[in-house]
Amino acid sequence: MIDSKCKICRRAGQKLFLKGERCYTPKCAIVKRPYSPGKKGKRRVSSLSEYGKELREKQRLKNWYNLKESQLKKYIKVVLKRRGKAEDPVNILIKRLESRLDNVVFQMGFAKSRPQARQFISHGHFLINEKKINIPSYQLRQGDKIRLNPQKAQRKIFQNISQSLKKQKLPSWLKLDIEKLEGEIVGGPSIQDVSLPIEIPAVFEFYSR
């Protein structure tokens, strides 16, 4: 049986990296079945309307960051209120999404996927500035430090975490101390730091209707 997360990627027509390590191997569903779920070997071919394209991009963004519909809608609503001001709304949205605690835990390499990062955070596996935070959507700021909770570090799932962290490629706004199992926000994310396979303006258009 194909995992539901794999079906999401196949419908999107691209990897959204929802399954952690599996996404980087030949076992990835997109590699094995590069067509939409349905009749085997057949990709559904249809001409999408503008609304359809906007909906597709919205779904891709929501699944990429592992968000609920209500969460994404709230982010967009806040950004649209600031439309017309100096900063590009796309950049504002990316800053907010990238600065989420679950995304940072994933980007630092403490989790193999954003869904797993969300689970770890909900179970109290991380300290922010030495305080336990169990809210995946918590917004991090420059200077904040994220540390693996010492009480959780001995668990089997974190057994080889130091080796995994050595292989992690960090964006420029994050810093990692592998010995301390601690990361720090040393800057601010921007659209230049993120390779999103998503047309963000189409998402704004979807919610502007």
Model confidence band, residue 1 (pLDDT cutoffs 50, 70, 90): very low
43 found inside a domain: no
One domain for residues 116 and 156: yes
Containing structural domain, residue 207: 49-88+197-209
Look at residue 44 and tell me if it is in a domain. no
Residue 21: pLDDT band (50, 70, 90) is low
30 with 65, same domain: the answer is no
The per-residue pLDDT for 26 is 66
**Model confidence at 38: pLDDT above 70:** no
Is residue 160 included in any domain, yes or no?
Answer: yes
* CATH label of the domain that carries residue 176: 3.10.290.10
pLDDT of residue 107: 96
3-state secondary structure the chain: CCCHHHHHHHHHCCCCCCCHHHHHCCCCHHHHCCCCCCCCCCCCCCCCCHHHHHHHHHHHHHHHCCCCHHHHHHHHHHHHHCCCCCCCHHHHHHHHHHCEHHHHHHHHCCCCCHHHHHHHHHCCCEEECCEECCCCCCECCCCCEEEECCCCCCCHHHCCHHHHHHCCCCCCCEEEECCCCEEEECCCCCHHHCCCCCCHHHHHHHHHC
Residues 141 and 113 in one domain: yes
Q: What is the pLDDT of residue 83?
A: 72
What is the per-residue pLDDT across 62-72, written as a single tens digit (0 to 9) for each? 999 999 999 99
**Within a domain: residue 41?**
no
Domain count, the chain: 3
Q: Is the same domain home to 168 and 118?
A: yes
